[in-house]
Amino acid sequence: MLLRPALETIGQGEPIGVRATHPSVEHDLRAWCRVMGHRWLGLSPSGAYLFEKGPHAELGGADWGVRIPPRKDGDLETRDWMLGRVADIPATADTTAGFAPRGAVIEPGVPPFHFTINERDAVWAAEVADLYEQATASQWDASKDIPWSALTPLPDAIERAICQLMTFLAENEYSALYVPAKFVPQINPRFAEVVMFLSTQMMDEARHIEAFTKRALANGGGLQYSALSTQLSLKSLFDQHDFTTASFLLSVMGEGTFLDLLKFIEAHAPDPATAEICRRARIDESRHVRFGIAHVKWYLTAAQENAEKLMAAVRQRAEYMRSVTEVSPRIVEALALLAAGALEADRLPAGFEKVRVLLHEMNDHRVKRLVACGFSGEQAAEMSQMHTPNFM
Amino acid sequence: MASNGLIRVGAVAYDPRVVPIWEGMRDYFREAGVPIDYVLYSNYDALVDALINRGVDIGWNTNLAYLKVMKRTGDHARVLAMRDVDANFTTVFVARTDTGVKSLTDVKGKRLALGSADSGQAAILPVHFLQLAGVDPDRDCTVLRFNLDVGKHGDTGTSELEALRALRDNEADVTALADATWIRETTEGRVDTRQIQAFWTSPEYCHCNFTVLPDFPQAKGEEWTRALLGMTYDNPRWRPLMDQEGLKAWIQPTLEGYRVLSEAVAHQRLDEKW
């Protein structure tokens, strides 16, 4: 143990001298050298025992003396750890580094871990450490942070509309939980910040599933109907096997569209609990959207022809979804009813008009997000039109 | 060769972990394009008989087993390879510090614990090194022999651990054991090094090797050795196997290091019944 630090600082074949007072050190050290594969040289004229570091011995080169500079507020943020070897984010990650933290010195002989996502461009986003930081700071508790006690009985039609929307939202959030979950074990741990961010995304989605389901059950209604068109849409998302494509379709296209949807429900919510759930969920979703945009931007910057790959994925999904030409009637009607405020014939047209405006805004915002990713205006417009009527 | 054309390698199952080691070796050789099968025996005499009687083609022998094969082949058996640690094995003499023993000659008059009678490192060679230093254990010492796992040539190390225990319990003053056993016991904290200390390290000698009969085809032997030497410690597939066998590299054999055991065996007349 005492020798280890010295061995770590020298190279293979270099000599090391040991001075010791223990009477049997000559015999013990010699035996240890043989077992460890060092070459025993014996007693030097100066009275030190000498040996030569063997080829399979201690590793060298671990960082030492790294000190993250303190922030004014005393915090230590995740992006601050980009120091020393930790800052080296490889373009292609070593598949034999296993679970060693990025920056650690790894003993040889690690069994292959079969991570399949080993290219930085396939997962990375410039702001990922910041987004992770924001995510951890923004966690909330769906049991305590929602004004559940403010719920009071609502007209059946309105409660039914809310319950239908909550069913729809929860169903979509299952896919938003499962899609990143499917990729996490494939991502090489060298890209830890991405894995950590996706973990917060999964936690967010779990909480949204919790909150939406609770709301459906909290006020005399219950979970309502799951539409075939929703399942088709989510299946086509879950079946994506490329991380960037999945992240693009889920976060940029789907969750991006959900921002407008959640804002709409929040604005027309008949009770404070629904409004608060939608407000909080929207803040979380906006982080996922930002990660999606940042990653796609990185991906498109790496190679401009990547834009065509993503466009092809959008076309392919639209082809799979061709039997579904419009938003599920149950969802449109529930949204229109909320916007109308009551199931009354003279108020409903205004509600439907608001939904029409919402769909128009969704398209406009999708185009803007696609342009922010780095697509041309033309590409953005084409892809936005092809997006699933299911929103997600 | 076996009827299926595979080279049969014989070894002694001194411990249950020998089975996974040889399963791994069989996988390795299959992938290296020189497929083998393995046959395990319960003791080295059975392995030596099997090699002589062509029950196996290659024997993974201890130094003592190798000398037996040499005697029975008129010194014509060949060695294909050995572990890196087989080329420079040593025996360490250790003593209770309260005995004041500092050299081999000091062992005279002391209680000497020895391992299994058929262990090169813990019995045959220690007696020889003492005799070379002018100490005849049978005449000059009180000898305690721990004949455990006889037939396994000291591979299990149990007799060495018993001898160390005898020193700790003040039943003996001095013992001799494989350097690897000694360093493992001390670094893992099972020896109080204020109570028991090493005082002499033997010259290097050879330990195990892969032995073949004189007529084993030369080209086949070279091909097999080349395949074996291709197993590297940096390959994660085989590293655990090499760790279990206690080596970092397979090497071409050196035979000079068998002379001292050969002399010890002759001097102690152990080969008269071979």
A248: Cβ contacts below 8 Å, ≥ 6 apart: A292, A295, A296, A310, A313, A373
- Return the pLDDT at A9: 72
**Statement to judge: residues A131 and A53 lie in one domain:** no
Hey, which residues does B60 pair with through a beta bridge? B210
If you count them, how many residues does chain B have? Answer: 274
- Give the mutation candidate from A28, A33, A41 for the B interface (greatest B CB count, under 10 A): A28
Question: How far is it, in rounded angstroms, from Cα A268 to Cα A239?
Answer: 34
The predicted-structure confidence for A66-98, as pLDDT tens digits, reads as follows: 899 889 999 999 999 999 899 999 999 988 899
Give the residue from A58, A74, A102 where a domain finishes. A58
Give chain A positions within 8 Å (CB) of B89.
Answer: 34
**Statement to judge: residues A153 and A51 lie in one domain:** no
Give chain A positions within 8 Å (CB) of B200.
Answer: 27
Q: Domains in chain A: how many in total?
A: 2
Angstroms from B78 CA to nearest CA on chain A = 26
Residue type, B59: G
- Return the pLDDT at A64: 86
Question: How far is it, in rounded angstroms, from Cα B175 to Cα B127?
Answer: 10
- Note whether residue A300 is domain-resident: yes
What CATH number should be reported for the domain whose range is B91-201? Answer: 3.40.190.10
A11 Cβ under 8 Å from any chain B Cβ: no
Q: Where are the beta strands (DSSP E) in A19-86?
A: 39-43, 49-52
**Statement to judge: residues A25 and A136 lie in one domain:** no
Angstroms from A284 CA to nearest CA on chain B = 42
A193 near A120, Cβ under 8 Å?
A: no
- Return the pLDDT at A1: 63
Query: What DSSP character marks residue A303?
Result: -
Assign A235 to helix, strand or coil: helix
B236 Cβ under 8 Å from any chain A Cβ: yes
* A-chain residue closest to B87, CA distance: A34
> Quick one: average pLDDT of A270-291?
98
Q: How many other CB atoms sit within 10 Å of the CB of residue B98?
A: 10
Please report which residue ranges of chain A form alpha helices under DSSP H: 4-8, 25-36, 128-137, 156-183, 192-217, 228-238, 243-247, 256-268, 272-302, 306-320, 329-340, 348-373, 377-386
B181 near A37, Cβ under 8 Å?
A: no
- Angstrom distances, CA of residue B9 to CA of A278, B2, B162: 71, 10, 31
**Statement to judge: residues A127 and A27 lie in one domain:** no
B193 Cβ under 8 Å from any chain A Cβ: yes
- Give the mutation candidate from B104, B106, B183, B184 for the A interface (greatest A CB count, under 10 A): B183
With a pLDDT cut of 70, the percent of chain A lying above it is 98
| Residue A16's CATH number | 3.30.110.40
Query: What DSSP character marks residue B97?
Result: G
- Return the pLDDT at A190: 96
- Give the mutation candidate from A1, A22, A35 for the B interface (greatest B CB count, under 10 A): A35
> Quick one: average pLDDT of B106-120?
96
A111 Cβ under 8 Å from any chain B Cβ: yes
With a pLDDT cut of 90, the percent of chain B lying above it is 86
Nearest by CB to A31, which of B183, B235, B236?
A: B183
Question: How far is it, in rounded angstroms, from Cα A38 to Cα A6?
Answer: 14
**Statement to judge: residues A133 and A233 lie in one domain:** yes
**Statement to judge: residues A130 and A275 lie in one domain:** yes
- Return the pLDDT at A381: 95
- Note whether residue A111 is domain-resident: no
Question: How far is it, in rounded angstroms, from Cα B55 to Cα A325?
Answer: 77
A174 Cβ under 8 Å from any chain B Cβ: no
End-to-end alpha carbon distance in chain A:
57
A27 Cβ under 8 Å from any chain B Cβ: yes
Report residue A57's pLDDT band, with 50, 70 and 90 as the boundaries. Answer: low
Give chain A positions within 8 Å (CB) of B84.
Answer: 37
CA atoms within 13 A on the CB side of B233: 20
Q: Rounded to a whole number, what is the largest CA-CA distance in chain A?
A: 106
* pTM listed for this prediction: 0.71
A residues 39-78 closer than 8 Å to B (CB): 54-56
* B-chain residue closest to A110, CA distance: B236
Tokens matching residue A333? 């009607």
**Statement to judge: residues A151 and A267 lie in one domain:** yes
* B-chain residue closest to A97, CA distance: B236
**Statement to judge: residues A237 and A366 lie in one domain:** yes
B195 Cβ under 8 Å from any chain A Cβ: no
Give the residue from A21, A41, A58 where a domain finishes. A58
Report residue A388's pLDDT band, with 50, 70 and 90 as the boundaries. Answer: confident
B245 Cβ under 8 Å from any chain A Cβ: no
- Subunit contact A111:B235, Cβ cutoff 8 A: no
| Residue A375's CATH number | 1.10.620.20
Sheet hosting strand A49-52, strand order edge to edge: A15-18, A49-52, A39-43
Give chain A positions within 8 Å (CB) of B183.
Answer: 28, 31-32, 35
At B111, phi and psi to the nearest 5? -85, 115
A308: Cβ contacts below 8 Å, ≥ 6 apart: none
B197 Cβ under 8 Å from any chain A Cβ: yes
**Statement to judge: residues A323 and A212 lie in one domain:** yes
Q: Is the pLDDT of residue A19 over 90?
A: no
Range of the domain at A356: 120-386
**Statement to judge: residues A203 and A289 lie in one domain:** yes
What ipTM was predicted for this assembly? Answer: 0.79
Assign A229 to helix, strand or coil: helix
In order, the DSSP letters of A321-336 are: TTT--S--HHHHHHHH
**Domain layout of chain B by residue ranges:** 7-87+206-273, 91-201
- Return the pLDDT at A95: 85
In order, the DSSP letters of B149-202 are: STTSTTTT-HHHHHHHHHHHTTS-SEEEEEHHHHHHHHHTT-S-TTTEEEEEEP
Fold of B7-87+206-273: D-Maltodextrin-Binding Protein; domain 2 (3.40.190)
The predicted-structure confidence for A289-307, as pLDDT tens digits, reads as follows: 999 999 999 999 999 899 9
A60 near A91, Cβ under 8 Å?
A: no
